[in-house]
Amino acid sequence: MFSFLLLHIPDGFLSLSVSGCGWLVAAAVLAWAVRRTSTRLGEAAVPLVGVLGAFIFAAQAVNFPILGGTSGHLLGAALAAILLGPWSAVMVMTAVVIVQAVFFQDGGLLAMGCNLLNMAVLAVFSAHVVYRVLGRLSPRRWWAAVVAGWLSVVVSAAATGVELVWSGMFPASLAMPALLGVYGLVGVAEGLLTASAVGFLERSRPALLEETPLVEQDTAASLLTAGMTATLAVILLAPLASEAPDGLEHLAEHAGLAGTEVAPWFEVFPDYAIGFLGGTPISVVAAVAVGAVAVFALTSLVIRSISGDETV
Amino acid sequence: MRGTARVRPGLPLHPRTLWIFALCYIVAANLAGGSSWWGLVGLSFLLVVVGWMLSISWRKVLRGMWIPTPFLAAGVAMVFTTPGDVWFVVPGVDLPVTVQGGWKYLEIAWKVYLCWTVAAVVFQSRRPEEILQGLAALRVPAALVGILAVMLRYLEVLVGEGRRTLRAKTARTGRARLGFRRLSRDAWLFRVYGALVGNLFLRALARAQRVHLAMLARGYDGRLLPSPGEGRMTEQDWGMVSLAVLLPLIILLGGGR
């Protein structure tokens, strides 16, 4: 039966630069996740996370039949984020993606960085943040779980689309609507299934959703990570930015002022590109990344100096 | 010998060597193509030789070759979207197939299957624990390797549990499909599947806690696998690693990108 979750990108589809960027980001987040889970849970909790990784894998085996002889299955990132907290969920989803790629050859080795970024990082953190924020707005968790499940699949599919477009496989005008259209629907099933599972646990073992041994309550750190993940997504999207003039430039062109501006005496990254890298996507991403880091460092310094708090 | 299958022992390479070879080979395959089709031909030949050296079962490898097919099926769109000279127009839908699109798709399909097959050949030539030891030898964090080891150990148990639960559900509720047509029935089906997954989580959690306590009682300290230092790299390993590292360079020098 044809399965509806085609998010495991095989090797050969992504360019080396995209695969390399995916690996860099995924490895950085994973290293942080290993550190967090090791300090929070202790090295000895490895079996706990391992068996729960096997649970997500087994849950993916629960294929539910859909219209027209096809079937779908759970991605599981939202469920893992809700039940285990974001860092443990990143570890669990990472283990699942690695096992699928290495022992079942589902997903590539070089493409694994991007697959981890899509399914173990972006999906988990988007689901976690949405579930937490919506969960605070209403005591009824099920609709927060629906949105979290839906978003995890859509974000994962969008990231897959961006990586394929960035690798020059498909034009954005084809890949993004197709992927978001299909996975927007698949996400509904993921959301309903996640909400049903959370509803079942709420009825049978409510304590698990209040405070499981693996749930991390450090919301500030989670929000920081969510912000960094969102920034990262924007950085990766930067090469796809429209080349049309912005509002001010458009107005200047209409008013006949274009070309009369005074050139700056010094430019660090003209046109959001690094000189020696040319106008390549890597150049744009590197320039935007450097800018983002500079803004983050500057903001941190300002906040520290205002608050006098060393823990920012 | 009559009655027993003849098994030719494969080249006894260190698992670390296998990882390095697979990764370098995949990088080389990604660099090949374009103006260096000979690179893809050479890599295909090398793959057959390595498969023979590792004594893998080609039948077992080929059985799984459907796995990347859905992705490749979705990739067919590139024969229409790649700009270039029109080769022919699909009758009925008036979609032009370009020559450049056709070649690009052929090249990608070839690369996808090469990369997929090298992973299958290399990782099916050893037991999973050995593959994980290779990962540990490459200095992957012990916590992650440990999680993978436990996951593999309990994978079959929990997947089996999931399938049994699903069979029990089918026995009780039949094979109703989610058609998004009758909302009340579909909502009920989602609740049923959600309860299955929730139930599976509870069973997994109970088992995880038992495993955790049992391992702590046996003095477990976070390390699951023996140190990978025992297996030394032989001359064959160094030869294979050298070949692996040279592969991308050869492709690059031969006009790869």
Kindly state the percentage of chain A with pLDDT values over 70. Answer: 62
Burial class for B29, CB neighbours closer than 10 Å (0-12, 13-18, 19+): buried
B100 and chain A: CB distance < 8 Å anywhere? no
Q: Judge whether residue A5 has pLDDT over 60.
A: no
Q: Which of A205-209, A256-260, B201-205 is modeled with the greatest confidence?
A: B201-205
* pLDDT tens for each residue of B142-178: 888 888 888 888 888 888 878 887 787 777 766 655 5
Give the pair of three-digit tokens for residue B186. Answer: 């579909």
Residue given tokens 């539910």 in the structure block: A64
Distance (Å) from the alpha carbon of A117 to chain B's nearest alpha carbon: 16
State the virtual CA torsion across A72, A76, A77, A82 in degrees, nearest 10: 130
Interface of B with A in 46-65 (CB under 8 A): 64
pLDDT at A305: 54
pLDDT at B26: 94
Q: Which residue has the higher pLDDT, A138 or B122?
A: B122
Neighbouring-strand partners of residue A72:
A64
Residues of chain B contacting A118 with CB distance shorter than 8 Å: none
pLDDT at A25: 92
Exposure of B238 in the CB half-sphere (CA atoms within 13 A): 4
* pLDDT tens for each residue of B100-127: 889 889 999 999 999 999 999 999 888 8
End-to-end CA, chain A: 51
Which pLDDT band, with edges at 50, 70 and 90, does A3 fall under? very low
Distance (Å) from the alpha carbon of B235 to chain A's nearest alpha carbon: 26
Q: Which residue has the higher pLDDT, A289 or A252?
A: A289
d(Cα B5, Cα B227) in Å, to the nearest integer?
34
What mean pLDDT do residues A14-43 have?
A: 84
Phi, psi of A71 (to 5 degrees): -140, 160
Give the pair of three-digit tokens for residue A115. Answer: 């697959």
Which candidate in A1, A8, A11, A163 is best for mutational testing of the B interface (most B CBs within 10 A)?
A11
Nearest-CB residue to A43 (from B31, B192, B221) = B221
Interface of B with A in 195-224 (CB under 8 A): 195-202, 204-205, 207-209, 211-212, 215-216, 220-224
Nearest-CB residue to A200 (from B74, B179, B195) = B195
d(Cα A74, Cα A189) in Å, to the nearest integer?
8
pLDDT at A235: 67
Q: Judge whether residue B187 has pLDDT over 90.
A: no
Q: Judge whether residue B55 has pLDDT over 90.
A: no
Q: Between chains, do A47 and B159 touch, taking CB under 8 Å as contact?
A: no
d(Cα A22, Cα B210) in Å, to the nearest integer?
36
Distance (Å) from the alpha carbon of B29 to chain A's nearest alpha carbon: 8
Q: Which residue has the higher pLDDT, B188 or B24?
A: B24
Q: Which residue has the higher pLDDT, A222 or A269?
A: A269
Please check whether residue A186 is in contact with residue A67, taking contact to mean a CB–CB distance below 8 angstroms.
Answer: no
Neighbouring-strand partners of residue A287:
none
Residues of chain A contacting B75 with CB distance shorter than 8 Å: 13, 169
**Cα–Cα nearest to B43, from B56, B29, B53, B31:** B29
